[in-house]
Structure formats: structure tokens, C-alpha cells
Structure 1
Amino acid sequence: MKQDTTIKRLCETALFTALVFLGIFTFKFPLPFGYVHLGDSMIFLAVLMLGGKRGALAGGIGGALADLISGYAIWMLPTFLCKFFLAICMGIIIEKQLFKLEGKSAWLVGGLLGGLVQTIGYMIASYVLYGMPAVVVAIPSLAFQSIAGLIIALVVAAALQKTALQKYFLHRANKKVSNEVSDSL
């Protein structure tokens, strides 16, 4: 039975890795120093459904692969790290109930702080690769991407919570983690 659970968890993580990749690769809007995409919404959703650790792997790997295939190989490592830590930060806030937040409040604060971590990470990478002018130019698009991704993920999560998929969310709106889900973390 444990093997079935392991295979299921691997498949779920792989599915979200593919969703992150597709969100970045398929729906991207080019900018001077990169592009804005829908992949972050899939990362936020992965954290809400899989938890911080598996969401981090899905986000980091999916994002890095999208950069590689899109011709932005120089951004693979920064993307992996930024997406990974976005998800880890959000996951910690939700799973550990930091700030005594639960449900949608934890989702929102976790997503905003995760997005801030990602923005700072990309600012550092932009500075290393291109210098301070690139950082100044990149800030608005980085902030927009994180906020838009979080809004999209929260809207999709709200819709999915009205379906049979609601059991897959770590924290249901206004409820604590169920024993079944917390045991799988």
C-alpha cells in the first residue's frame, strides 16, 4: 500500500511540474529582461494542493525546464531557486500556521510572502547578470507576475473547493488541516 501512495504522490508532483512548465512556456508575455507568465499561479496552486515541499519541486523543476526550452538557459538556476523558495515560504506559513493564520488568510499571506521572496531572488539574479538598471526595470513585472499568479491561483482554488477535489487542499477555507492530509506531509 505504501508503494501505491508513493507512486500517487510522484504522479501528482509530476502533474504539477507539467502544469508549471505549460503555464510558463505556453502563456508568456515577453519583456526586455525575461517574460511574464501564468506558471506562478500553478506553483501557488501546487502548494495549496501538494504542500510546500512537493510544490517547491514542481515549481523549481517546471520553471527551470521552461527556461531551458525557451532559450533562457542562463536563468535556469535562478528560476529553480526562486520558484523553489517561493513555494517553500508559502508552504511553511500555511503548514506551520505561522502568524496563527488559517485557511484563506494563510493562503494569502503565504502567497504574498512567497512572491516577495521570489521577487527579491530575481532582483539579485538580475543584478548579477545585468547590473542595477536591469533590477529597476524588472521590479514592476516581477511584482505583477507574483500578485497576478496568486490572484489566479486563489480564484481557481476557490472554484476547485466546490468540487470533489476539495479533499486535496491542505487547508480548506476556514478549517484546520485534516488528520488524513497532515499525516501525508
Structure 2
Amino acid sequence: MSNTATKSTANTSDHTRTLITAALFAALTCVGTMIIKIPTPTMGYIHPGDGFVLLSGLLLGPIWGTLAAGIGSALSDLIGGYFVYVPATFIIKALTALTAYLVFKLLKKVISTKTELPQLIVSGIIGELVMVFGYFIFEIFMLAIANGTDLQAGVIASLAGIIPNLIQALFGVIIATVLYPFIKKLAAN
């Protein structure tokens, strides 16, 4: 077999493995979001799916990670009947994964440590702040504009979602930080 054919086969194999892994993380994100739901006063819920959103970005990178996070989260909203949230969730969760990935890579270049723990925690927190801010802005739009109320009422109503989203973010960071080393080690084998 020629060297070019060997490289082509290896590239196809790597691409297939990445695609399958992205599909697996989309499924884990969807299931992690749907299975364990802790209702919030804002008619939403807290879930461990954000851990998989962060892991998607951290392990799969800026393209496949954002797609896995966005698709898995949006599918959960679609299946769960939160139809109005589907497009916003896709964008917000994709941006959460992308932000976590970019911050993680930057921190690994800037901070040299024996473990990746500080980089994981900081990148997870910054990524999850994107989620909190994204839903805050979306809910202002949804409550104020879509329901015909004024902007001030939309802001006040959206503030109620910040605490539950911060709690969800905290669980997401913890889950991603704990699971990342194990999954990375498995992927290396």
C-alpha cells in the first residue's frame, strides 16, 4: 500500500472516530440534560448536562465540540417540549463549549502546572458564565418582546433565572473537572 493511501485511510479513520465521539457526546449531553431534572421557580430545571457541554468543547475542540454541545442540548429541549428554547439553547450551549475550549487552550499556554485542574476550573467557569448570560439575554427577549411586556419587566423576570443557572453552572464545572482526566486517559488508549 502506498504512503498516500495509508495516510488517506488514517485520516478517514480519525474523521470517523471524531464523528462517532461527537455523536456520543451529543447523546450524553441530551440524556444528561433530560434524565436528572431539578425544577426551578422559573419553570426551567437544573441538570448535569452542562458537564457534558463543557466536556464536548474541552475534548472535541472548537468545531465538533460546539456542534455536539449545541445539538445535544437543543435535542433535549426539543424532546422535552421546550420548543421556544431550541434555537437559543443550540447557540448558547455551543458558545459555552467553544468558550471553555478557547479559554482552556489559552490558559494551558499561559499557566504551566503539573495538572490541568486550574485550567479546567477557570475555563469551565468562564464557559458557564456564557451560558448564564446567554439565557439571561434570551429570556429578557422572550419575556419582554414575545409577551408584549416592557423591557424593565423582562429584565426583572429574567433575574429570577440567574441563581438556578449559576447552580447548574457549578454542577457542570464540577462534573467536567472530575470526568475530564478519566475520559482523556481513555481516549489516549
Structure 1 length normalisation: TM-score? Answer: 0.82
Alignment of 1:15-164 (within 5 A): 15-31=24-40, 32-97=42-107, 100-101=110-111, 103-130=116-143, 131-160=154-183, 164=185
Give the letter aligned to residue 116 of structure 1: L
- 1:171 aligns to what? none
Of 44-53 and 116-125, more deviation after overlay is shown by 44-53
Structure 2: distance between partners of 1:138 and 1:98: 32
What is the aligned residue count? 166
CA-CA distance at 1:160 after TM superposition? 4.4
Structure 2: distance between partners of 1:160 and 1:69: 27
Give the letter aligned to residue 30 of structure 1: P
Q: Find the residue that maps to 1:51 and give its secondary structure.
A: helix
CA-CA distance at 1:99 after TM superposition? 7.5
Structure 1: distance between partners of 2:157 and 2:33: 21
What is the RMSD computed on CA atoms of the aligned residues?
Answer: 1.9
- 2:147 aligns to what? none
Deviation digits for residues 72-92 of structure 1 (CA, Å, limit 9, x no counterpart): 010011111110111111111
Give the letter aligned to residue 94 of structure 1: F
Q: For structure 1, which runs of at least 5 residues remain unmatched after alignment?
A: 169-185
CA-CA distance at 1:33 after TM superposition? 3.2
Q: Is the 8 A contact 2:58 2:97 kept in 1?
A: no
Deviation digits for residues 77-116 of structure 1 (CA, Å, limit 9, x no counterpart): 1111110111111111122347713522221111111111
Q: Is the 8 A contact 2:125 2:173 kept in 1?
A: yes
Structure 2 length normalisation: TM-score? Answer: 0.81
Q: Is the 8 A contact 2:70 2:90 kept in 1?
A: yes
Q: Is the 8 A contact 2:33 2:47 kept in 1?
A: yes
Of 32-41 and 139-148, more deviation after overlay is shown by 32-41
Give the letter aligned to residue 37 of structure 2: K
Structure with bigger gyration radius: 2
Q: For structure 2, which runs of at least 5 residues remain unmatched after alignment?
A: 1-8, 144-153
Structure 1: distance between partners of 2:100 and 2:30: 19
Q: Is the 8 A contact 2:34 2:80 kept in 1?
A: yes
Structure 1: distance between partners of 2:46 and 2:110: 33
